[in-house]
Amino acid sequence: MQRAVQRVVEQLGLAAGQVRRLFHGRGGCVPGLEWLVVDYLPPVAVIRAYSETLPEPVDVLVEALLAEGVEGVVLQLRGRGRGAQSEVLAGEVPDQLVVEEAGLKYQVKPLQNQNSGLFLDMRPGREWVREHARGKRVLNLFSYSCSFSVAAMAGGAESVLNIDMSSGALATGRTNHQLNGIPTTLVAFMAVDLLRSWGRVRKRGPFDLVVIDPPSFQPGSFVAEKDYRKVLRRLNEFVAPGGQVLACHNDPAHNEQFLRQLMEQEAPEFGFCQRLAQADDFPERDPEMGLKVLLYKKGV
């Protein structure tokens, strides 16, 4: 636990008040602490334990966080046999917070089971989109709380169409635009099951930049193993000549080759350009296990 404490203190220094992963045990770089993750959602920290019960006490970690000025600490147990459960271990933790990343604001819910509202490992993806969105018509598939849309509009996108089957996630998406003073006249939110809505998406296109960031395994909605190829098969209809695609996948069981093969088979009109570097606060012993964000261009 002492190694986790040391890393957490270092990372808090680098966070400089911005949202950041403070300890990424899941990356396997610290043997014995693969179960432990700590996220900083200023001014609070969330300790996530991927186990049924706490494998070892976290008191020393909580003390270190408080000593560094963190105002509240949440523990979330995320064992497979149970739904995630949250408990406030110290200090004050509000239901809702606004955090900052690269000067943009996002609403998060630190006490929420499972996802808090912003996927921290996607920071390099948002950064890339912000830097490359100028003048583009963007399609954001599986948009969740629309952080890619906020980044695209902040980067000067012409328009964004966000698609997610969860109207609650899209409502947070609207809030995220408002928090950043981005008018939503050029931003659309479509609450539909993508796998049943191809015609509606095609009608709104073509697009110059498409972001695909689906869940790995959400039975009944999307299972990457069988459904990812269904999305890629449609890409050519949606994307304008010379358009770009950012294809993301976060299943440790699938390596980069899984996604590259699917692209070759289902979207041969697109050429592979690069894999974006992973965020420096998400060190992975085996980079194949971490987030894959692949950039493609039509007609390369």
Ligand X SMILES: C[S@@+](CC[C@H](N)C(=O)[O-])C[C@H]1O[C@@H](n2cnc3c(N)ncnc32)[C@H](O)[C@@H]1O
User: Where along the sequence are the contacts to ligand X (CB under 6 A)?
Assistant: 119, 122, 142-145, 147-148, 163-166, 169, 193-195, 213-215, 218, 221-222
- Minimum CB separation of residue 140 from ligand X in Å reads 7
Whether 163 and 195 have beta carbons less than 8 Å apart is answered as no
Nearer to ligand X, 169 or 182 (CB): 169
- In 136-269, the DSSP E strands lie at 137-141, 159-163, 187-190, 207-212, 217-218, 222-223, 239-249
Residue 299 carries which DSSP code?
T
Whether 123 and 150 have beta carbons less than 8 Å apart is answered as no
- Minimum CB separation of residue 58 from ligand X in Å reads 27
Nearer to ligand X, 266 or 269 (CB): 266
- Minimum CB separation of residue 178 from ligand X in Å reads 17
- Minimum CB separation of residue 43 from ligand X in Å reads 22
Nearer to ligand X, 64 or 170 (CB): 170
- Minimum CB separation of residue 158 from ligand X in Å reads 20
- Minimum CB separation of residue 53 from ligand X in Å reads 27
Nearer to ligand X, 6 or 218 (CB): 218
CA dist 125 and 143 (Å) reads 13
Q: Could you tell me how many residues make up the chain?
A: 300
Q: What is the CA radius of gyration of the chain?
A: 19
- Minimum CB separation of residue 118 from ligand X in Å reads 7
Nearest to 81 by CA among 51, 42, 104, 60: 51
Nearer to ligand X, 76 or 147 (CB): 147
- Minimum CB separation of residue 196 from ligand X in Å reads 8
**What torsion do the CA atoms of 28, 31, 35, 40 make, to the nearest 10 degrees?**
-70
Nearer to ligand X, 3 or 216 (CB): 216
Nearest to 263 by CA among 250, 246, 276: 246
Contacts of 247 (CB under 8 A, 6+ apart): 212, 232, 259, 263, 293, 294, 296
Distance of CA 240 to the CA centre of its chain: 26
Nearer to ligand X, 4 or 163 (CB): 163
Number of Cβ atoms within 10 Å of the Cβ of 281:
21
- The DSSP secondary structure of 56-72, one letter per residue, reads S--HHHHHHHHHTT--E
CA dist 47 and 45 (Å) reads 7
Nearer to ligand X, 101 or 208 (CB): 101
Per the DSSP assignment, residues forming a β-bridge with 298 are 270
Amino acid at 154: A
